[in-house]
Chains A and B, each alone.
Chain A
Amino acid sequence: MNPLRAVLALPFGRRALAALLYGLIAFPLALVGFVLTLVGLLVGGVLSVTTLGLWLIAVTVRGALALGRLQRALARRLLGLEIEDPQRRTGSGILGWRRALLADRGGWRAVACALATPFTAAFGLVTVVIGYVYGVLLTLHPLLENWNYDTRRAPDGTEHRVSLEFFGFQVDSWPRWLIPVTLGLLLLATASWLLRHALAPHRALLTALLGPDAADRRIRTLEETRAQAVEDAAATLRRIERDLHDGTQARLVGLAMHLTMIKELIGTGASPQQLLTVVDTAQGNATQAIADLRHLVKGIHPPVLDQGLDTALATLAADSALPVEVRADIADRPSPAVESIAYFCVAELLANAAKHSAASAAVVTVTARDGLLRLTVRDDGRGGAVIGAGSGLTGLRARARTVDGTLTCDSPPGGPTVVTVELPY
């Protein structure tokens, strides 16, 4: 990009122009919304002794919601500001519609927003005028001689055209023109920066009043995590069913088959050698079925977890393919659900470290005190682990979220990888 274009991109780039457009639209829109909302509320309030007033107020709330939607859409398109749609209440029937609107928290927040936005949007408009209009006028100042200048008649009868005058200092010719031109260029260069900051209160207002409120967000998180938990449980059951069907159950059927075979062989008077071969196979099946079951049980709920998370983690570390150091400081014991999630997180993280990161050692730190379990798994592998599609970390984070926990991953290329899980209990 050449320097001229780089300079022009400051005030006239695509994003800057979009913000400029927003600055121009936002205030008139907010003003119209303000007037309509205020009138609707006042008239509705006065008439509220009759049902007509309630209808008018409901329509006003509905209008404020529609305005909020428009403002969200504009902010998204022109400012790149993402505001989630709030939860909408709906009622059945026309009376239900009115009742839902009058009781809609989101609706009243939209009303508050409609009443407040003109004040914040005004900053944007003023900044547009100062930054862009004055910026352009001052920059082009020398060219505007015919439109923007006053004609002065001097006492001696000569006329001359004066553009600006400060305390008798007249800016009417080179090199004095350099002053407004420089000032104009400076304004233009900073215009988009100024506008962005002038709109900051506006953005904050929209985000606070037009997005979902804290309760809505909480509900949404709970809905998401509940769906994840249900899915997780269903997937676990499916896996267990598969394991049982293909593993243990098949082994037992095989065992039954071999026992039948032994019976048949005895009936036909087979040699002890022949019998022994089948008995061996049957024995192998029985042993394998027991091992399969043990593995399965461990995957459901490791019995060692009953002795406490520290013991369980030590066992896990001993079983790991890597040398693992465990530092546990558990002041008060978390709930079994939290212990179980912590255990499976560590199990999976250690497995990841051994499988994917080519690590030579890992350290597991776990502290549990004051209602927060905090565990970190650090390995010295090659790093580059990300939480994303298809990553095991996504599943672990989903598990952590089901108990309002968090999972963060710090894994720069070249390592080390540190995954931190925090679980309140």
Chain B
Amino acid sequence: MRVVIAEDSALLRDGLAQLLRLRGVEVAAAVGDAEALLTSVSEHRPDVAVVDIRLPPTQTDEGVRAAVRLRADHPGTGVLVFSQYVETTYAAQLLREPAGFGYLLKERVVDIGEFVDAMERVARGGTALDPEVVAQLFGASRRAGALDTLTPREREVLALMAEGRTNHAIAAAFTVSERAVEKHVANIFVKLDLPPSDTGNRRVLAVLRYLDSVR
């Protein structure tokens, strides 16, 4: 797996690059601002771009805007937004196209195994959301009343689905059988009114559906 890192703090940039290399990830470039990110992605065509939200010069949302452009210009490159805080509107904005997108808090690198897993999911076109991000999105959508019909367990399952986990992983997390998880997932699809389809990723659609209620 090849990645490009955009992070303005040299300390974190070098630390992350070093850690990823230890895990056998190929770090094609590690840059400090959005401009350099866009050029190095064009140049290296990485599987994933890890993008900090706050980048110079204004330290506000340069990273998000760069991520939006990356996803338009390089659909083959997954984008993993990497931030110190959760910004629900940015997450919702980027999640309109959930395939190949992730949003993780920086402290998740502590479990580097999970972090690399998340990167791989994003590289394959999957989704990886930080539990914190999911919790905040859920909080927002609960206020909107979209998920009232779901049982607490179904909500938990949906949260893990939003993080990008497979049924297998969800079953392991709750120590239940995979069949039980499949049943929950099927219920969620019915309750959120998602018809079966061959190609459409209903899991992603389920996440999107409640994000719609947030917006």
Contact = CB atoms under 8 A, between A and B. Distances in A.
Contact of B109 (A249, A260, A268): A260
B16 A257 contact: yes
Contacts of A100: none
B169 to A, nearest CB: 21
A254 B54 contact: no
Contact of B107 (A256, A258, A261, A268): A256
Given A250-B11, A258-B15, A285-B11, A264 B110 contact: no
Bin the interface of chain B by size: 10 to 19
Nearest to B105: A253
Nearest to A254: B11
B167 to A, nearest CB: 29
B110 to A, nearest CB: 5
A253 B19 contact: no
Given A250-B12, A250-B84, A264-B19, A256 B109 contact: yes
Contacts of A268: 22
A245 B84 contact: yes
A317 to B, nearest CB: 35
| Residue from A242, A253, A260 with most neighbouring chain B CB atoms (10 Å) | A253
Contacts of A264: 19, 22-23, 112
Given A242-B59, A259-B110, A253 B12 contact: yes
A251 interface: yes
Interface residues of A, number: 18
Contacts of B9: 246, 250, 254
A265 interface: yes
Contacts of A253: 12, 84, 106-107, 109
Interface in B83-114: 84-85, 106-107, 109-112
B201 interface: no
Contacts, number: 48
B58 to A, nearest CB: 12
Interface in A243-293: 245-246, 249-251, 253-254, 256-261, 264-265, 268, 285
Interface in B11-46: 11-12, 15-16, 18-19, 22-23
A254 B107 CA distance: 9
Contacts of B23: 264
Interface in B177-202: none
B107 A251 contact: no
A261 B110 contact: no
A249 B84 contact: yes
B107 A260 contact: no
Given A265-B22, A268-B22, A257 B59 contact: no
A180 B16 CA distance: 98
A344 B11 CA distance: 32
Interface in B126-149: none
A257 B22 contact: no
Contacts of B110: 256-257, 259-260
Contacts of A251: 11
A265 B168 CA distance: 30
A242 B102 CA distance: 24
Given A250-B11, A253-B12, A254-B12, A261 B22 contact: yes
Contacts of B12: 250, 253-254, 257
B64 to A, nearest CB: 16
Contacts of B109: 253, 256-257, 260
A254 B15 contact: yes
A347 to B, nearest CB: 26
A246 B10 CA distance: 11
A135 B107 CA distance: 89
A257 B59 CA distance: 22
Contacts of B54: 245
Interface in A222-256: 242, 245-246, 249-251, 253-254, 256
A265 B22 CA distance: 8
Given A246-B9, A253-B106, A260 B84 contact: no
Nearest to A264: B22
A80 to B, nearest CB: 44
A398 B112 CA distance: 49
A241 to B, nearest CB: 9
Contacts of A265: 22
B84 A261 contact: no
A291 B16 CA distance: 23
A242 B18 CA distance: 26
B95 to A, nearest CB: 23
Contacts of B107: 253, 256
A243 to B, nearest CB: 12
Interface of B: 9, 11-12, 15-16, 18-19, 22-23, 54, 59, 84-85, 106-107, 109-112
25 contacts: A242-B59, A245-B84, A246-B9, A246-B59, A250-B12, A250-B84, A251-B11, A253-B12, A253-B84, A253-B106, A253-B109, A254-B9, A254-B15, A256-B107, A256-B110, A257-B15, A257-B19, A258-B15, A259-B110, A260-B19, A260-B111, A260-B112, A261-B15, A264-B112, A268-B22
Given A242-B59, A254-B9, 11 more contacts: A246-B59, A253-B84, A253-B107, A257-B15, A257-B16, A260-B110, A260-B112, A261-B19, A261-B22, A264-B23, A265-B22
Q: What 5 pairs between A and B have smallest CB-CB spacing?
A: A257-B15, A254-B11, A253-B106, A264-B22, A256-B110
